[in-house]
Structure 1
């Protein structure tokens, strides 16, 4: 009995577990750069209230209803709709990682540059040269992934934890800076004009950045039924999570506003913002470049490790939960290390194209980095759509799927809330496609449609293979 009780998760423990998987310092940087500095605070509050909280609570109900399903979103779709739609859900979850992987080599290179030189010289590189080096880094990561080296998961966890702690430390030290340092900080004007964003075209086309930042909490769904009292405690945990994330977003943005003038945001903030922040912090506390070097090294290790894991882990999830009715048998071929060799080749082709093609039409590293973040914010949330499809399907037949935790008991209200989150996510993705630059606009349109469209080709190839 004691052993069983000790395994139960309390609501505050779940909140902290989820917090570390959902939030990162990069979200503060991107929000600050995209939404006019301190004006990002209102944007963050809106996204938490109207989107993140219902999203997280829906995930809780799905996890509770399908407590024996280990495949996540694909399993939920399989149970509620059927195997074919489950395949498309699995494909979407996997394929949206391709732009994500293509972003990692440049992030690792920039981190390495800051660790070595402590300046923004990477921003001055020729984009073709940068992406050529990135291609080499990616191919090396492909080689590592094919060998199935297990220590990378540990390295990614350690580096991620270190960056997470550094992010919280940054907020604490910046809040304390006016009291215990002689730093010359930006004077924040505490009035409506400083904080109220303009609800214009730029506001709505930037929503994908915010949706991308708060998504992914479906990873915590397996823990719902391990809680002491799921029906009561899960919602408490998720509300606590939302409050924690909101506090970090608000205080992190204010901390950035104390360093950078919201009226004159550096053009390269998305590229170098985190490093500028830690470099300035070291100056305030007379610590030299210690903070920026430590952050850059942990980010370098983290970015490379996550790149290798993202090459292999999502592919295993796709092929582990699908069958040869929808995917050709050749995709299931494994090497001696258990890596899916043909699947890795497909990843290599897609990501290599995503690395090289943008550099042919984007001449600035800072513009390229912003585009990579933007295209990720368009593609990655496409997988969240399946969460809401699964939730709507669950509510339509909730009598067949008993659950200890229910977000809402009403079938109609549940369907409406699921529909709201689906439409909001879809609208954010569509809005994020917009760009004033015609080359980037074409890339933003072609990338998600081509990647998702490949999913319709696989069942056709599998069918031909069976004939």
Structure 2
């Protein structure tokens, strides 16, 4: 009787809000936003919550409720709404974004590792057998993906327990940031390290790379990326108490809390971090800025309470060590899960005939053959980017921009398919937020336009400033995988036609 009651227990509003918060809120988005735009990032994060996060989460909730019994995840959603070809390209792009994520993390995971060991980012000084730091990070990244693939392909899923430990430690980082910043503010008698001279502080960036209109508009993709992970929300509808009322309220409350959380977090960074003195220093980049900011927080806590220079530096180093260890554990756990989970959904959700040879074969609950093909792609991408001859700062910027674009493009496929989904009366829709066709169209246009607008300016921004290489790199990832998706599906269509003849 007790187990039956537990099964029937559904999530309350508070539980739902917490679930959405932990799925979406990312600590590193805060220092990165402050690094790129200073206080000027705050309005963009609020705008993204209104034009993207809230309506998109409602769309995912409607999909999730309608297709709760489908195993194929987002492939089933799009296939039943639009068609198989559209669904495959969209799902393959979604999967491809995780491949780009793995390329990124394979090389950038050594930044938190360095912070955990040394108390600061030393990766820019690493060299081996005449190779520069970028190339060393590339080699380490290649070794990392090989080890993870070898381990995960054996079905050793227990390693993902690291995720919960790292996740808890990262969650505590937000509390450290809040308490630490308030302590510094009190210790400094209410003075901000990054002064607010006028309202222009919230519209203009202290970063010289973000002075033009195009650069500022390109920042929008970082704000969208900060709200990533809301696809998981779609599966929570049927687990929510009085979903019709609770779910829209939960998403709205969570969105407000997350948007305020980001806004407050960015403002807190300005309490103890002077942009020119701390972030304009050589060697600071998007890959290590979170640890630089946390190290500075520890140092400023010491300084504001009268500690000696040596003691303040020690506090800073240990704060950076904690941040580094937390992020290393969280990223390691996430990596072991994501090296097989998206691939498994892609292989299991789509027709087996799509995949050549034994690619679709599942052994010990793992798509082993597909995992090794994936590994080869990741190794090739890491080698291409890390041996391209750029400095470490450029290397990290390319990887992060490739990830942001690649991970937000699939959102357009899902949002664009929403009108077709709503038009199909044969699809049972037990949960609806957008009850009229007018609001469905408005939501679809606003969300799809926001994502497209942000990605367009992100992609063209480097080229406008004479850096065509970065623009090409951001296009390469999504285009490369779209071509692969079209080739795979084209081959499948030819096979199907032959079988019918």
Indicate whether the TM-score tops 0.5.
yes
SS of residue paired to 1:270: coil
Matches within 5 A, 1:43-442: 43-125=44-126, 126=132, 127-179=134-186, 186-189=193-196, 191-197=198-204, 200-262=213-275, 265-266=279-280, 268-286=284-302, 288=315, 289-335=317-363, 337-397=364-424, 399-434=425-460, 435=462, 436-442=466-472
Q: How far did 1:72 drift?
A: 2.7
Q: How far did 1:108 drift?
A: 1.8
C-alpha separation between the residues in 1 aligned to 2:409 and 2:489? Answer: 20
C-alpha separation between the residues in 2 aligned to 1:246 and 1:10? Answer: 21
C-alpha separation between the residues in 1 aligned to 2:391 and 2:112? Answer: 18
C-alpha separation between the residues in 1 aligned to 2:68 and 2:337? Answer: 26
Q: How far did 1:319 drift?
A: 0.6
The answer to whether the 8 Å contact 1:29/1:274 transfers is: yes
The answer to whether the 8 Å contact 1:22/1:214 transfers is: yes
* Deviation sequence 1:122-163 (CA, Å, 0-9, x none): 133421122122211221112112112111221123212321
The answer to whether the 8 Å contact 1:181/1:285 transfers is: no
The answer to whether the 8 Å contact 1:377/1:432 transfers is: no
- Pair 1:361–1:72, CA change in 2 (3 A): same
Aligned to 1:453: 483
The answer to whether the 8 Å contact 1:84/1:326 transfers is: no
Q: How far did 1:345 drift?
A: 2.5
The answer to whether the 8 Å contact 1:23/1:245 transfers is: yes
* Deviation sequence 1:281-332 (CA, Å, 0-9, x none): 3334457233322221122222223222222111100011111332224211
RMSD between aligned residues: 2.5
The answer to whether the 8 Å contact 2:92/2:481 transfers is: no
SS of residue paired to 1:331: coil
Q: How far did 1:181 drift?
A: 7.3
- Pair 1:254–1:356, CA change in 2 (3 A): same
C-alpha separation between the residues in 2 aligned to 1:227 and 1:396? Answer: 26
Q: How far did 1:413 drift?
A: 2.1
State which drifts further: 108-117 or 182-191.
182-191
The answer to whether the 8 Å contact 1:328/1:459 transfers is: no
Q: How far did 1:187 drift?
A: 4.9
Unpaired runs of at least 5, structure 1: none
Q: How far did 1:409 drift?
A: 1.0
State which drifts further: 149-158 or 312-321.
149-158
C-alpha separation between the residues in 2 aligned to 1:187 and 1:417? Answer: 37
State which drifts further: 401-410 or 54-63.
401-410
* Deviation sequence 1:86-129 (CA, Å, 0-9, x none): 32232122111111001112222111111111123213342112
Matched residue count: 464
- Pair 1:304–1:362, CA change in 2 (3 A): farther
The answer to whether the 8 Å contact 1:103/1:372 transfers is: yes
The answer to whether the 8 Å contact 1:29/1:269 transfers is: no
Q: How far did 1:166 drift?
A: 1.4
Q: How far did 1:257 drift?
A: 1.1
Unpaired runs of at least 5, structure 2: 127-131, 205-210, 303-313
The answer to whether the 8 Å contact 1:38/1:262 transfers is: no
The answer to whether the 8 Å contact 2:94/2:410 transfers is: yes
* Deviation sequence 1:356-401 (CA, Å, 0-9, x none): 112233422122112211111110112212321332222222x433
- Pair 1:228–1:329, CA change in 2 (3 A): same
C-alpha separation between the residues in 2 aligned to 1:261 and 1:21? Answer: 31
C-alpha separation between the residues in 1 aligned to 2:288 and 2:28? Answer: 10
The answer to whether the 8 Å contact 1:171/1:252 transfers is: yes
The answer to whether the 8 Å contact 2:160/2:336 transfers is: no
C-alpha separation between the residues in 1 aligned to 2:110 and 2:297? Answer: 22
